Chain A
């Protein structure tokens, strides 16, 4: 459904070149649900804009829905849907009018467009706002309207640029319900960007991690976490037990870093442990046998944030240090 090779975008601002996307290779098969995850400024939107023909690539190639973006941009636009990062509704228009026109732009007839609009208004909690002008909507309401606009027609390939930003949890859930239903009913291929790692984690099958315009990881969330991060284990022991526990944990971490902190006569250790849930019981037993029992133990499964930290040495939330 999507194939890119060395896709690159440079911007020139005041004679300075910004390399926004640095030669990415992306392959997405029909029916996949893929999330681009990365901090602000990573190049997610720029990549999406090239794939949706809103920006011309500086170099490299991209085929979207079987059509080359440079050779036939109009052909690409006829085959895709796009929910951009900004607010798509015209300020002075009414919500329902924009939705109906959006349907017409995509070749729907009035009956289908009206039915689809009602369905989307209802499930995105916009029914009461249908006749309101866009400028009078709150930020969250506008975002829901953007999503409603983008879901009006049923494309075979849908791009969503940070669709859930600014939505409350209930509406995020509604959004996801729609996305999942489109997939189930139409087999829609879905590519979205997010900087909510929990969203990328729980919803998409495949996560492409982007940083500084490069793809630094591309796999299922589960495998990324298992391979790159491991569970976070925190153990507290009495000061006198610390030396033997230090040795035990050092061996278990297998070269990984073990952090240590002492306060109020308690020493707490923190380390990453691949397959921590499986190893922890044995580790506890070894500590008991060594006469150094744990006072408390916490085991946290890894998050994509941990993956990002492992890959870049930075926190996803801190953003790119550009």
Chain B
């Protein structure tokens, strides 16, 4: 039987280690949906249902001028994609809650995996389906007048991935803080998510709202993300894209700092 000799786990320099570890954390998490193909397919198709029911209503409810002359779908689709990313990655901590209750979290915490990779890997697992979903709904919408710019859309998904790492890490931290009080996790997650969404113009144009809403939206990183996605989905790369990338990177950095702190606080 080939049993390796006693040796210490090799440590690589900072970022290389994080990427290496992230791969395995991500891989482990991905086994959950992959081992359950039925619910995987169902969840991948879900946005189509949403889009099919909501899309037709949109054009008639809100006047076309609000959408800057684009087709309704061209404006609405990126919003749907951002929303899926939000719902997905903000759930990162919820799957952790089960592991906190057993010894599973502790086992993994005692392993040599780097702290950031624990969060990044989990967040990316929540983001991964979005790649399939985003491309799928784009393709399905082509016959209805949606113009599909694949490279722009892919870049948009990458930006959402970076943002998702930040949101996922915050969700992870929230799960640690609300350990043994699971209702706090849900309370905070729901209470924050909906105002953030509405104040980003994700569903309805913020321009249609009162001034205070517009002002509030400037302080919402999600606003820049939504604008960036709209620009990209329209086939352009410009200032909005850059701002969106910046907002996503800042969110990721803040999320990881908060997350690592939460992990360390949890062991003191």
**Pair count A-B, CB < 8 A:** 124
Residues from 223 to 268 in B contacting A, C-beta threshold 8 Å: 264, 267-268
A138 at the interface (CB under 8 A from B): no
Asked if residues B11 and A74 are in contact (CB atoms below 8 Å), the reply is yes
Cα separation A186 to B8 with both chains bound (whole Å): 13
Asked if residues B106 and A111 are in contact (CB atoms below 8 Å), the reply is no
B interface, size bucket: 35 or more
A41 at the interface (CB under 8 A from B): no
Asked if residues A84 and B106 are in contact (CB atoms below 8 Å), the reply is yes
| Residue in A101, A156, A187 with the greatest tally of chain B CB atoms within 10 Å | A101
CB distance from A65 to the nearest CB of B (A): 8
Inside 8 A of B193's CB, which chain A residues have their CB?
none
Nearest residue, chain B, Cβ from A105: B111
Asked if residues B3 and A149 are in contact (CB atoms below 8 Å), the reply is no
CB distance from B37 to the nearest CB of A (A): 14
Label chain B's interface by main secondary structure: loop
Asked if residues B267 and A106 are in contact (CB atoms below 8 Å), the reply is no
Partner of B6, one of A97, A98, A188: A188
Asked if residues A88 and B6 are in contact (CB atoms below 8 Å), the reply is no
A206 at the interface (CB under 8 A from B): no
Inside 8 A of B215's CB, which chain A residues have their CB?
none
Cα separation A132 to B268 with both chains bound (whole Å): 35
Inside 8 A of A82's CB, which chain B residues have their CB?
107, 110
Asked if residues A88 and B112 are in contact (CB atoms below 8 Å), the reply is no
CB distance from A87 to the nearest CB of B (A): 5
B49 at the interface (CB under 8 A from A): no
Nearest residue, chain B, Cβ from A83: B107
A105/B6 contact (C-beta < 8 A), A74-B11, A74-B114 known? no
CB distance from B63 to the nearest CB of A (A): 47
A112 at the interface (CB under 8 A from B): yes
A115/B2 contact (C-beta < 8 A), A56-B267, A78-B112 known? yes
Inside 8 A of B31's CB, which chain A residues have their CB?
93-94, 97, 101
A153 at the interface (CB under 8 A from B): yes
A55 at the interface (CB under 8 A from B): yes
Cα separation A91 to B3 with both chains bound (whole Å): 28
Asked if residues A54 and B24 are in contact (CB atoms below 8 Å), the reply is no
Nearest residue, chain A, Cβ from B10: A107
Asked if residues B24 and A185 are in contact (CB atoms below 8 Å), the reply is no
A214 at the interface (CB under 8 A from B): no
Cα separation A216 to B4 with both chains bound (whole Å): 38
Inside 8 A of A156's CB, which chain B residues have their CB?
6, 8
Residues from 97 to 153 in B contacting A, C-beta threshold 8 Å: 98-99, 102-104, 106-114
Cα separation A186 to B6 with both chains bound (whole Å): 6
A106/B9 contact (C-beta < 8 A), A84-B106, A90-B104 known? yes
Listed by A's residue number, 28 A-B pairs whose Cβ atoms lie within 8 Å are A53-B267, A55-B268, A74-B11, A75-B11, A77-B110, A80-B110, A87-B103, A88-B104, A90-B99, A90-B104, A92-B32, A93-B31, A94-B35, A97-B31, A98-B28, A101-B27, A102-B107, A105-B113, A107-B9, A107-B112, A112-B3, A116-B2, A116-B3, A116-B4, A146-B107, A150-B107, A154-B5, A186-B6
Known A56-B268, A65-B8; further 15 A-B contacts with Cβ < 8 A = A54-B106, A55-B267, A74-B11, A78-B11, A88-B104, A89-B104, A90-B98, A90-B102, A92-B98, A105-B24, A105-B113, A107-B112, A154-B7, A185-B3, A186-B6
* Chain A residues within 8 Å of B, Cβ to Cβ: 52-56, 65, 74-75, 77-80, 82, 84-94, 97-98, 101-102, 104-108, 111-112, 115-116, 119, 146, 149-150, 153-156, 185-188
The 5 closest A-B pairs by CB, nearest first: A86-B103, A88-B107, A82-B110, A78-B9, A186-B6
